[in-house]
Each structure stands twice: as structure tokens, then as C-alpha cells.
A and B are shown apart, each in its own frame.
Chain A
């Protein structure tokens, strides 16, 4: 199955894995940022109860949660970006932007749907008295949301947002199917060149684990610390 010769061969392509790591991290970080912004907009529209926008936002969330990520990715890449011309250049000298961008878009749209539910729950968990106090001071609805509700809601859901980052790191591997050079793409490329599969997979496993495991532990640590602060 594995051999030191196999590892030696694979190691010649370690540069691909380094690039894969950078791509996976960029992909995930951008997805969390854009996914969060999208999620915030969706959550606010749903809570606004302005018809028909709240229905559309609800439909968006339900569709994205009820269909496979792969289907969403293919629709974004082949159907939507199939008709849009994206400048083709290389980020950091190796990431092909015309593939990377649809990947970010599809992942953000998917993650936005999930995150919006988390944000909505976070907003709804804030005591009504906070809104009443702010409004009674003459603050407008939007000012109250921005200054009073969101800061508290987001602090409460920070661990959930960080966990979403971990999930995205893992799910972003799906982007190799549209040729984004992330970690799984490196596995595939190395396999093609060396006819070895086990060793590249082992390396990918180690890289993913080193990314996600410490991140989860750090999140859990801060989560414990924060909840301790609240009980003070």
C-alpha cells in the first residue's frame, strides 16, 4: 500500500501541496467573509418581514440547504459563470482566478444559507427589552440593530461562525471538481504523475487535520472562556 519509495516520489510534488494549502486557506477565508456578509443580509431580510423579500430569502435558504453542494457548485461554474467572462489571471502566480472565483461564489452562497440561520437565531436570542430600551431612547430601528442587537448577537454566535470556518475548510475540497488547485487537486495531480494514490492521500489527510483540529480546539477554548466571563 505505502512505501518509502512512494513517499519519495510523492514528495517531489510537495510544491503542489503547498500551493493547495494556500488555495484552500484563501478559498475558506474568503468564503467565510463573503458568506457572513451574505448571511447577515439574508437574516435581516427574513427578520424584516417585508413581503415578498422575506419569502425570497426563506426560499433561498431552503433551496441551498436541501440540495447537494456539488450540484450548486456545477450550476455556479458551468451555468452562471459559463455565460460570464471572468478575467483569467493567476493569483499568487498559480491560482487560476477564473476557476477560483466561481468556487468562492458557490461556497459563499452555500455557507451564507447556513450562516444566516445561525445569525437569525443569534438575533432572536437577544432579549426584547434591549430593543425596547433602545427605541425608548429615540433610537431608530436600524440604529438599534447596528448598535445594540448585532454586537451582542454576533458575540454570542462567534464560536458557531468559527466552526463554520472549519466546515468550509473541509467542504472546499469539492472545488477540485472544477479545477481549483486546492489540496485535493494536488492529490489528483500527484496521482496522475506518480501513479501513487495512498501517499498523496495520507499527506492530504495530515494537512487537513493540521488545519482543522487546532482551529477547533482554539475555538472550544475561547468558547469556554467566554461563557465563564458571562457568569461572572
Chain B
């Protein structure tokens, strides 16, 4: 049953390496609804990044499906409303999903402003003036309006990640994917990035976040998934996951990280 709020439906997603010997994802199913703030936790190598990157097909799954707006984006074609077979254009779907990476991945040869306006101008065909206006508004929101003409190399890690977040927001995505956005930061810069994400969650943005920041997960997450060995072991509210963990593996994991 598809409900009105359903945004992404993942079914039995698998990603195998080395001819199936290494199962990075071993049958993951979940539904992401509009306005969800889904936090994924788990030990290193449990498949968190692989799962997140499968959502916008940066990683092509071995099997299973990722249905976004009723279209399975893991297939090369889909059937449209009139029953015709249409070639799937993955770029169309990716621009509706923003992604933030551990290592920022700003474009070093462009100013902050150009980093932000490039895709809106080239992909969404937004007029430059409009794109720049929008960029300045977003930069102001994260306190970086005065750095529009700087190059990424001139920014601190925390500033770079804040730019990376608003760069993704420029495309007006329907969901934002975060892969350990604070793991590459010096400790004193973690807070400023988490604060931007917290504010983003308050605006009702749908977010999927892989993080090791358990305090943040508990505070901002509406739903937590614990992964281990390529499987979803437990799923629940922050209270269920952190205060009443069921599986021994989650209990063990929490003992180590809390």
C-alpha cells in the first residue's frame, strides 16, 4: 500500500562484492516518509554508507529495489502512466535528492558562490541572478554570506561542510542524505554543522543521516536504524533504540559508543 507520505521505499536491497563472498548489504527493507529524520547507526563496515549511497544510486545494488515517487530507480526503464516503457534518467532523480559527504567534496576550482550556483544554472536552468540571490539567502542562513567569493581552500572544515549542505539545498531536494557529515571535522567544529542540520530538520526536511554522533541521533532522529553485517538489526524511536535495546548486538554496540 502506498500512502500519501511515502517518499522512498526500499525492498530487500542487496549489494555483494567478490561474487557474493562480501555482503555489504544483505537484504535491507524500509520506508522513508516525508518529513522523516532517519538516523542510521552501526559499527564500521556494517553497510551504512552502502545503504545511503544506494538511495541515489551512487552505488548500484546487486538486487532489490529503491522506489522513489513510484519509480524503481535501480532499473534502466520504467512504465509511465500511459503504460509506455520509458528510459529512466537517473540525473532527474538525483537532483531531487541532496547529498552531503564526509569529506565535503566542494569543487576546489570554484568560489563558494559558483559551487552553489553551478548545478541550479546548468541543470535546473535557473537564471544566474536568481541563483545568486538564492545562494546568498542560504549562505546567510548558515552565517557565511561574507564568504561567497572565497575558495573552498580558504574555509575551515566546519565552514566547508555548511557550504556543502546549502549547496545541496540549492537544488531544492525532497530528501537530504548525510554520510557521516561531522566525522572529518575537528571536535570544535562538529557543533556548528550539527546545528545547521538540526535547524534543517525543524523545517520539515526529510533527512537520512549516517552518523556516529549518538547525542545528535537521540535528539534529532525521529527514527533510528541499527545496522550490522549488512542487515537492519533493529529499528525504532530514539527512546526504543537507546533506552530499551532488544538485540544483544545493539546492546553491545551501545555499550561501546555511549
Q: Is B150 an interface residue (CB 8 A)?
A: no
Q: In the bound complex, do residue B107 and residue A133 qualify as a contact, i.e. CB atoms below 8 Å apart?
A: yes
CB-CB < 8 A to B103: which residues of A? Answer: 129
Q: In the bound complex, do residue A138 and residue B101 qualify as a contact, i.e. CB atoms below 8 Å apart?
A: no
Q: In the bound complex, do residue B91 and residue A136 qualify as a contact, i.e. CB atoms below 8 Å apart?
A: no
Q: In the bound complex, do residue A137 and residue B123 qualify as a contact, i.e. CB atoms below 8 Å apart?
A: yes
Q: In the bound complex, do residue A136 and residue B97 qualify as a contact, i.e. CB atoms below 8 Å apart?
A: yes
Cα(A127)–Cα(B103), bound, Å: 11
Q: Is B167 an interface residue (CB 8 A)?
A: yes
Q: In the bound complex, do residue B107 and residue A148 qualify as a contact, i.e. CB atoms below 8 Å apart?
A: yes
Counting contact residues on chain B (CB < 8 A from A), the size range is: 20 to 34
Q: In the bound complex, do residue A136 and residue B153 qualify as a contact, i.e. CB atoms below 8 Å apart?
A: no
Residues 112-142 of A at the B interface (beta carbon under 8 Å):
127, 129-130, 132-140
Q: In the bound complex, do residue A138 and residue B92 qualify as a contact, i.e. CB atoms below 8 Å apart?
A: yes
Q: In the bound complex, do residue A139 and residue B58 qualify as a contact, i.e. CB atoms below 8 Å apart?
A: no
Cα(A4)–Cα(B99), bound, Å: 75
Q: Chain A at the B interface: mostly helix, strand, loop or mixed?
A: helix
Residues 157-212 of A at the B interface (beta carbon under 8 Å):
none
Q: Mark A142-162, 1 if CB is under 8 A from B, else 0.
A: 010001100110010000000
Cα(A130)–Cα(B118), bound, Å: 14
Q: Is B105 an interface residue (CB 8 A)?
A: yes
Q: Is B161 an interface residue (CB 8 A)?
A: no
Q: A137-B167, A152-B109 are in contact. List 11 more A-B contacts (CB 8 A).
A: A129-B103, A132-B99, A132-B101, A133-B164, A134-B107, A136-B94, A136-B98, A139-B122, A143-B122, A148-B107, A155-B109
Binding site for B on A (CB under 8 A): 127, 129-130, 132-140, 143, 147-148, 151-152, 155, 232
